[in-house]
Amino acid sequence: MLKNSLFLALVLSGTAALADVEVRIVYLQQAVEHPPTLSNLDPIPEDLGVAGALVGLDDNRTTGRFLGQTYEMDIVAIAPGGVWEAGVVEALSRSDLVVLDAPADQIGAALAVEGAADALFFNVSAPDLALREDACAPNLLHTLPSVAMETDALAQFFVKRRWTDLAMVVGTQEGDLAYAEAMRQSATKFGLRIRGEKTWAFDADMRRNAAQEVPVFTQDFPDHDALVVVDTIDDFDRYIAFNTWLPRPVSGTDGLTAVAWAPVVEQWGAAQLQSRFVESATRPMRPGDYAAWAAIRTLGEAVTRTSSSDASVLRAYILSDTFELAGFKGRPMTYRPWNGQLRQPIPLVHARALVANAPLEGFLHQHTELDTLGIDAPESSCTAFTE
């Protein structure tokens, strides 16, 4: 059924005459040494991201088989301490279509390598706002939601629930500080108040001490409707719920979370994608996997519609009003032409179920409600796409 519907869509949309097209993609990954955490219940998969890209590649091949299109993907992995720029040079020698799975600093460095200006890059791992703002680049697209998109999704939920007064516990990692700042901006944007904020800097073993430490730590917070916990490395946040001084819902990086994807997303045909991923990777799909899948599928959709593998042709089509990506999240997804961010709904989930899908009803926008999440065009400091 999927194959037939795709073929019919091609015919109806007046796609260019079928022609043999060879597409080579490079998945360039910087391996990262993650800081130790208290719990090993949720280890980071070794194939995070790559597994999603492989499922996307298989999807592209399924369609391409009927259209004379062939897809190949090289995986280039840079070990911790390896020379990242050398990896970028190697990737560019193989293809001008490159998926970047790396921290924000390395992504910025990749853009500065000789020859990078003629390539099309996809950021599938860095939620940093800088890459979408002052450090944006016209040939860098983002399939992972920005941290602002996620905190805006949470803020919309708080508004709908009339949870206007918040408290926040923030870890000390760089990612924690960025998430907390985005949450402050979201609170201001949607008229919420953060009435209390504290830094979590404990090194005690919360597996044994949470019931004693957390109530004392949260006791002096002013009254609030919800507690936002910010722990991007998943070290202490799991020990906060049900241990706070006031019985309040927990959100942020634990409890109610805003994510690109989660195993509990099953509507809008998502169960099909979930099952295909589990069959391929033998584990549930994570946000990084989804972002990588979306990048590969973006290229597949653009190649199908343009009958081209040229980076400049694909970029122009992807950023046009014509492009749409079916992302199994309830509505078609497109790219923001002012900073290259993939517009997408943000699932609000807990460990067992989908709670809501942002943007929520009632949050209106003159163009698309998806632009109520994250940095909108009038607020953006990215000028690279208009120069």
Domain spans, the chain: 2-145+262-344, 148-258
CB atoms within 10 A of CB 251: 25
pLDDT at 283 exceeding the cut of 60: yes
Report d(CA 291, CA 293) in Å as an integer. 5
pLDDT, tens only, 43-76: 899 999 999 999 999 999 999 999 999 999 999 9
Tell me which residue of 238, 221, 102 sits closest to 171, measured CA to CA: 238
Structural contact between residues 227 and 249, judged by C-beta atoms closer than 8 angstroms: yes
pLDDT at 7 exceeding the cut of 90: no
> For residue 267, how far is the Cα from the chain centroid?
19
Angle (deg, nearest 10), helices 50-64 and 2-12: 60
Q: How confident is the model at residue 2 (pLDDT cuts 50, 70, 90)?
A: very low
- Beta-bridge partners for 252: 229, 257
Pick among 3.40.50.2300, 3.40.50.720, 3.40.50.620, 3.40.50.2000: CATH of 2-145+262-344:
3.40.50.2300
pLDDT for 265 equals 98
pLDDT for 36 equals 72
pLDDT at 5 exceeding the cut of 50: no
Question: CA torsion 38→40→45→46, rounded to 10°?
Answer: 80
Structural contact between residues 163 and 227, judged by C-beta atoms closer than 8 angstroms: no
Structural contact between residues 93 and 21, judged by C-beta atoms closer than 8 angstroms: no
pLDDT, tens only, 202-238: 776 666 577 778 999 999 999 999 999 999 999 999 9
pLDDT for 368 equals 95
CB atoms within 10 A of CB 228: 30
Q: How confident is the model at residue 1 (pLDDT cuts 50, 70, 90)?
A: very low
193 by DSSP, 3-state: which? strand
Q: How confident is the model at residue 179 (pLDDT cuts 50, 70, 90)?
A: very high
pLDDT for 18 equals 57
pLDDT at 387 exceeding the cut of 80: no
* CATH class assigned to 148-258: alpha beta
What's the one-letter identity of residue 10?
L
DSSP category for residue 370 = G
CB atoms within 10 A of CB 139: 20
DSSP category for residue 150 = H
Report d(CA 239, CA 233) in Å as an integer. 13
pLDDT for 136 equals 97
Peptide bond before residue 332 is cis, with ω within 30 degrees of 0: no
Domains 2-145+262-344 and 148-258 share a fold: yes
